[in-house]
Amino acid sequence: MRRIRLPVAILIVWLFFFYNLERLNKHINFTTAAYIMVPAVVVIIVLVPSLIRVNLWVLLVTPILIFSVLEIGAATDVWGNAILLTLTEICAIAITAILARWVSIGVNEFEIAVINMTIGRGNERRTRQGEIYQEVQRARIHQRPLSLMALKADETSVNIAIDRIVREAQQAMVKQYALGGVSKTLVQELPDYNIVARRNDHLLVLLPEATPEQLPAIIEQLQNAVSRQVGISIKVGTASLPEDATTFESLLEKAVRDMEAQPTLARWPQRPTTSPVLDNASLQEHPNGHDSR
């Protein structure tokens, strides 16, 4: 929220200063075109989200050119004796455009966060689960080890006091936010060839070439990272191929069942926090992210 509040506050202060600048200096007398362009720039940039992807220089030059045309059309002395005033108005329009773009970026990020928390990204989830299915087939065909983890935020560790009327809605948003934080942490902690996918209210993590013996160290490192970066604990269930199952559906069922069976605030037996598995010192990665066999 600070990314929205700060630019909005600065923009309000700037507009207040601009429209009262004539009171501070009697020699300044802004033209009608300047008074029109400044609020017009704010409204257009804030109401058209796609403009944040436009190059900043284009966003600055365009309103300045329009302002110059309006000045010339009004038969105003733009480059004569009033050149200093004209340059001041151009600078004011440029500053306004920069601040309005800053506000628009903050609003856009907030909208994306709300969409991710309340709706999620169904298409992306289905795509990543398809990759998991392909990895399971690859490991089964080439007789390579593979492990699947199902995990979710421990709801009892998310202690937030909320009003009874909005409790259910807020709890749903908090769970989605926590799950998003866990997902981001997993992506940062795991090597690129591992797959993190979202399924319903939990995450799936596919670990190609990971054996059951390597899982405790991996889980310990992920639990520590999530606790440190997100501030919550996670429940983790695992399944390995071919020890526990030989199909994606069976692996998924076993991992989810183990995850749900984990007690509240459960932690894996303490292991060293450094994980040679995640450092990938002993794994050979193929250029396309798969085993070369």
CATH code assigned at 193: 3.30.70.270
Query: Could you tell me if 44 and 138 lie in one domain?
Result: no
Burial of 156 (0-12, 13-18, 19+ CB in 10 A): exposed
Name the band, by pLDDT with cuts 50, 70 and 90, for residue 116: low
Residue 185 dihedral angles phi and psi, to the nearest 5°: -65, -40
In a domain, 291, yes or no: no
Peptide bond before residue 242 is cis, with ω within 30 degrees of 0: yes
Domain boundary residue, one of 96, 118, 140: 118
In a domain, 28, yes or no: yes
SS3 249: helix
What's the whole-number mean pLDDT along residues 15-38? Answer: 83
Residue 261 belongs to what domain range?
A: 122-279
The tokens 């089964």 sit on which residue?
Answer: 140
* First-residue to last-residue Cα distance in the chain: 49
Q: What is the pLDDT of residue 285?
A: 37
Question: Over pLDDT 90: what percentage of the chain?
Answer: 8
Residue type, 168: E
pLDDT for residue 228 is more than 50: yes
Query: Could you tell me if 172 and 89 lie in one domain?
Result: no
Q: State pTM to two decimals.
A: 0.43
- Cα 143 to Cα 64, 78, 182, 209, 238: the distances in Å are 66, 78, 31, 10, 19
Helix residue ranges per DSSP H, the chain: 2-19, 21-24, 32-47, 56-73, 83-118, 122-141, 167-189, 215-229, 248-261, 276-279
What's the whole-number mean pLDDT along residues 63-70? Answer: 86
The tokens 């009004």 sit on which residue?
Answer: 74
Domain boundary residue, one of 118, 142, 167: 118
What's the whole-number mean pLDDT along residues 249-261? Answer: 88
Give CA 251 to chain center in angstroms. Answer: 29
Q: What is the pLDDT of residue 159?
A: 54
Q: Name the residue with higher pLDDT: 280 or 265.
A: 265
In a domain, 127, yes or no: yes
Domain boundary residue, one of 94, 118, 142: 118
Which range has the worst mean pLDDT, 119-128, 201-210, 259-268? 119-128
- pLDDT tens-digit profile of 153-175? 676 665 554 444 456 666 667 77
pLDDT for residue 79 is more than 60: no
Name the band, by pLDDT with cuts 50, 70 and 90, for residue 278: very low
Q: What is the pLDDT of residue 265?
A: 54
215-229 helix and 167-189 helix, angle to the nearest 10 degrees? 130
pLDDT for residue 77 is more than 80: no
- Whole-number Å distance between alpha carbons of 55 and 67: 19
